[in-house]
Structure 1
Amino acid sequence: MNARRRTTMACCSALTLALAATACGGDPVSAGGGGKELSGQTLNVAGVWSGAEQKNFQKVLDAFTEKTGAQTRFTSTGDNVSTVVGSKIEGGNAPDVVMVPQVGVLQQFAEKGWLKPLSDKTAGAVDTNYAPVWKEYGSVDGKLYGLYFKAAHKSTVWYSPDAFEQAGVKPPKTYEEMLKSGQAVSDSGLSAFAVAGEDGWTLTDWFENIYLSQAGPEKYDQLAQHQISWTDPSVVKALTTLGTLFSDKKLIAGGQKGALGTDFPGSVEKVFGPEPEAAMVYEGDFVAGIAKDQFGKKIGQDATFFPFPAVTGGKAPVVSGGDAAVVLKDGKNQKAATAFMEYLATPEAAAVWAGAGGFLSPNKKLDLASYGDDTLRETAKSLIDAGDSVRFDMSDQAPASFGGTKGVGEWKLLQDFLRDPSNPAGTAAALEAAAAKAYKG
């Protein structure tokens, strides 16, 4: 979902894209060198980022250049990072470092033998600066290959304070309270939620938050690895809970049909655009970037969030995504790659992008004052405070044919469920059939 989310964000703000025009498109971006220990070397980095994200990551690369003297070159791969990197390796032109957007892709790279384990110094910094769960997600067969530099907090529900005030409601503490508040909002004249059903990945995020809270982290991990079936009663229960929302036309802007015709940027517009249709939109911290850049909202005042609430007595979930830096064995600049990974593991590197905005770091040593506003600081603190209870986006851990492809697998089946949420057990059976095929493949 992480790469998919980036694609939508890159298209959302004409102003941001205009400012980042020199960093967009297929052309690599270079940063000048200095006269320090890596002077004369060029570090080649590839990743899915484009637009504002690529522009801000370039600031991190520039800081590395200033620190070490190494030149840097970033190439945007687009969302299909695995195919692009594979072709570059086959052509003898492998990047030195790749920013990998999904756990499943990192594991795929490791299984293909493309990756070099991280240095002892980087591993030590991960042990010191990160919650253990981030090391786990960066490791394959006990070896640490991935350093999580950028994270997303995907357990935030964004809302209009004006709409809440008009309805006489406050941010809810439980899922049940959230639906009750939604009814009050609906009675006041707005729909409760804008749901981006046209983008299937948003529906996987809805399911994952409900499932993590309701079933707990152990079951979540088992389902993410397909160690339990999607027909497990815990899955049917979570789908039933989600179906309560999806089946209530008063709660969803435009009803099921309207939701299925709304993409992610459109869902944000329905809450924070010039003609609001809903009071709330569930998605990650990146909602703030669209509300601010495209609709001029002041984050923390015109647009703010509450944590995705606990479901039926469970704990409030914290679902995350993230981008892991990995070193390719076939890269030509191993010394520079190793130094860059050691740099990325420091709070100093994270602070560069934190100050630019549109970024969260899982590095617990990063001073929260590095973030540009109170809302970002609050979001980052929530991610850090969650510690080992954070769980990585489940669909990003699955084979792409099940959890990451438009029109098939989990995306399509949850869109079908949104269209008709009357048979949770049937949807669970369809999900299991698709998952079994994908994991077997």
Structure 2
Amino acid sequence: MSPSPSSRFRQQLIVAPAVLGLALVAACSNSSSSTGGGGGGSATLAGDCAEYQPYAGHSGTTVTMFASILSPESDSLQQSWAKFSSCTGIKISYEGSNDFESQLPVRVNGGQAPDLAIIPQPGLLAQMVKTGQVKKPDATTVANENKWSPVWKTYGSVDGVFYAAPMSANMKSLVWYSPSAFKKAGYQVPTTWADLMKLSDTIAKSGTNGSKPWCGGIGSGTATGWPATDWLEEVVLGGQGGDVYDQWVSHKIKFSDPQITGAMQTVANWMQNPAWVNGGFGDVKSIATTTFQDAGGPILTGKCWMLQQASFYEAQWPKGTKVGPDGDVYAFHLPAVNPAIPNPVEGGGEFVTAFSDRPEVRAVQDYLSTAAWADSRIKVPNATGWVSANQGVDKSLYTDPIDQLSAAELTDPTATFRFDASDMMPAAVGSGQEWKSLTAWFAEGQSIQQTARDIDSAWPQ
């Protein structure tokens, strides 16, 4: 499942106004006597603010935004639109919640929908569209989607109708490790699944002081379980290929079918092997109670060697951690289970969805769909771990090695790319029963067969 992410930073509730960088106001002066005000004026923006002219005329308005993105990522997000906000006078009141997936439907059905929501699951988007309250983007936002690969537009569409503009992308198929620890031990980065499993066995047999080859955590508030969905998706995509993956997403192939239960057994051999996990935390069951944010910590203390987690995990390393090929931590591409599958890449993303069609709301949604906004998000200082699949983005702006790696993989035309499966499934399954059942699989030792049956039974008729 795509945390976003996402579903990503879920330790606390954060409600914060997004009007940052007020020092920018002087530079972004309004040269017109008309100040807009709710779209009623025709302000002319000058100086550094001139680039925001298409969004002028709405000074003094507020747009509410609701998402699952919490600090530290939400801090960078708000900085990315600070100049837009100060120049246009549109205040973006941002709220992040670790209960986003459960609270958004409650708010929408209760008449308390936000103006904009950042939805990381196409399945949840489809659920919201059924309420009749999602507003279609305007023509300029639709035109901006030409900078994305066409498949991304389908992820923001329901029944062939485009509703939500893609905002970000993340690379899921990564394994975090310590280059310095590997070098000291004489380990090589594996390039095949067989080599990865062999390395895991070697580390397990030579481990001391409780060190294990793998660490992991699937705790994430009300979204507990989502990292386990990623492990299963990686194995299905890298073992069975894109066609089986697609049929699984649509339930033409069920969880109880041999292709998927076989993949679950591969995951069990890997992440439920008591000799291999959970370095620094405990036994297999401890994976269910360890938060995904904390999961990689033991890599820095030598208690575990590897963590399978997405590109956005970079934001979780402590300040001062050097990330890079010669750093404290880095990441390599998770190899395909089946070497016949060319370069499997699982990714996730987020989609800006409007529940209001007020002019200022459309202005914000439109701006966030542009390559210019994506560039500004990339340029936020010390805000690594975020990439865009928008092909209009200036790739030279990526200075972080993980961001460079992720951007290259996500735009690779030869990759077997698929969007996070659980995010594509109906919300009752992908961000509901599957989270619950996979958590029980780890926490209670529930059988593969029972876990699969429980998830299949939740599929909407």
TM-score range, shorter chain: 0.7 to 0.9
Q: Distance in 2 between matches of 1:185 and 1:387?
A: 33
Matched, 1:259 2:277: no
Matches within 5 A, 1:205-244: 205-244=230-269
Q: Distance in 2 between matches of 1:69 and 1:260?
A: 45
For structure 1, list consecutive stretches of 5 or more residues without a partner in the other structure.
Answer: 12-16, 18-23
Matches within 5 A, 1:133-282: 133-189=151-207, 190-198=211-219, 199-246=224-271, 248-252=273-277, 253=279, 254-272=282-300, 275-282=301-308
Partner of 1:110: 129
Matched, 1:122 2:151: no
For 2:213, the aligned partner's letter is A
Q: Distance in 2 between matches of 1:130 and 1:4?
A: 19
Q: Distance in 2 between matches of 1:184 and 1:396?
A: 35
Q: Which moved more, 1:371-380 or 1:59-68?
A: 59-68
**What is the Cα deviation at residue 43 of structure 1?**
2.9
Partner of 1:63: 83
For 1:42, the aligned partner's letter is T
Matches within 5 A, 1:23-422: 25-30=14-19, 35=30, 36=43, 37-40=56-59, 41-66=61-86, 68-81=88-101, 83-84=103-104, 86-87=106-107, 90-91=110-111, 94-127=113-146, 129-189=147-207, 190-198=211-219, 199-246=224-271, 248-252=273-277, 253=279, 254-272=282-300, 275-293=301-319, 296-300=320-324, 301-313=327-339, 314-328=341-355, 331=356, 334-356=358-380, 357=383, 358-385=385-412, 389-405=416-432, 409-418=433-442
Please tell me the root mean square deviation across aligned C-alpha atoms, in Å.
2.8
Aligned to 2:81, what secondary structure does the other structure show?
A: helix
For 2:229, the aligned partner's letter is T
Q: Distance in 2 between matches of 1:39 and 1:416?
A: 50
Q: Which moved more, 1:103-112 or 1:196-205?
A: 196-205
Q: Distance in 2 between matches of 1:167 and 1:149?
A: 41
TM-score, normalised to structure 2, is 0.81
Q: Distance in 2 between matches of 1:411 and 1:81?
A: 12
CA contact (8 A) 2:3 2:226 kept: no
Q: Distance in 1 between matches of 2:79 and 2:335?
A: 35
Aligned to 1:279, what secondary structure does the other structure show?
A: strand
**What is the Cα deviation at residue 376 of structure 1?**
1.6
**What is the Cα deviation at residue 147 of structure 1?**
1.0
Deviation track 1:151-181 (CA, whole Å, cap 9, x = no partner) reads: 2211110001122123322111111111111
Q: Distance in 2 between matches of 1:52 and 1:350?
A: 18
Equivalent pairs, count:
414
Q: Distance in 1 between matches of 2:414 and 2:106?
A: 34
CA contact (8 A) 1:247 1:420 kept: no
Deviation track 1:220-243 (CA, whole Å, cap 9, x = no partner) reads: 122112222212221122122222
For 2:350, the aligned partner's letter is D
**What is the Cα deviation at residue 256 of structure 1?**
2.0
For 1:53, the aligned partner's letter is E
**What is the Cα deviation at residue 4 of structure 1?**
7.0
Q: Distance in 1 between matches of 2:206 and 2:291?
A: 25
CA contact (8 A) 2:4 2:68 kept: no
Q: Distance in 2 between matches of 1:311 and 1:321?
A: 20
**What is the Cα deviation at residue 130 of structure 1?**
0.7
TM-score, normalised to structure 1, is 0.84
CA contact (8 A) 2:204 2:212 kept: yes
**What is the Cα deviation at residue 191 of structure 1?**
1.5
Deviation track 1:88-135 (CA, whole Å, cap 9, x = no partner) reads: 6744x54332211211111111111111222222222212x1112211
Distance 1:85 1:45, change over 3 A: farther
Percent same amino acid at aligned positions?
A: 27
CA contact (8 A) 1:355 1:370 kept: yes
Partner of 1:432: 453
For structure 2, list consecutive stretches of 5 or more residues without a partner in the other structure.
Answer: 31-42, 44-55
CA contact (8 A) 1:193 1:281 kept: yes
Distance 1:197 1:383, change over 3 A: same
Distance 1:76 1:412, change over 3 A: closer
CA contact (8 A) 2:17 2:92 kept: no
Q: Distance in 1 between matches of 2:126 and 2:113?
A: 18
For 1:100, the aligned partner's letter is I
Distance 1:79 1:269, change over 3 A: same
Q: Distance in 2 between matches of 1:74 and 1:419?
A: 35
Q: Distance in 1 between matches of 2:245 and 2:133?
A: 29
Partner of 1:20: none
Q: Distance in 1 between matches of 2:76 and 2:275?
A: 40
**What is the Cα deviation at residue 367 of structure 1?**
1.4
For 1:338, the aligned partner's letter is R
Aligned to 1:259, what secondary structure does the other structure show?
A: helix
Q: Distance in 1 between matches of 2:64 and 2:256?
A: 45
CA contact (8 A) 1:355 1:372 kept: no
Deviation track 1:367-390 (CA, whole Å, cap 9, x = no partner) reads: 122224222212222112258843
More helix by share: 1
Q: Distance in 2 between matches of 1:88 and 1:236?
A: 36
Q: Distance in 2 between matches of 1:235 and 1:95?
A: 38
Deviation track 1:64-101 (CA, whole Å, cap 9, x = no partner) reads: 2255443333233543356346536744x543322112
Q: Distance in 1 between matches of 2:127 and 2:77?
A: 24
CA contact (8 A) 1:404 1:411 kept: yes
Q: Distance in 2 between matches of 1:411 and 1:46?
A: 22
Q: Distance in 2 between matches of 1:125 and 1:8?
A: 26
Partner of 1:21: none
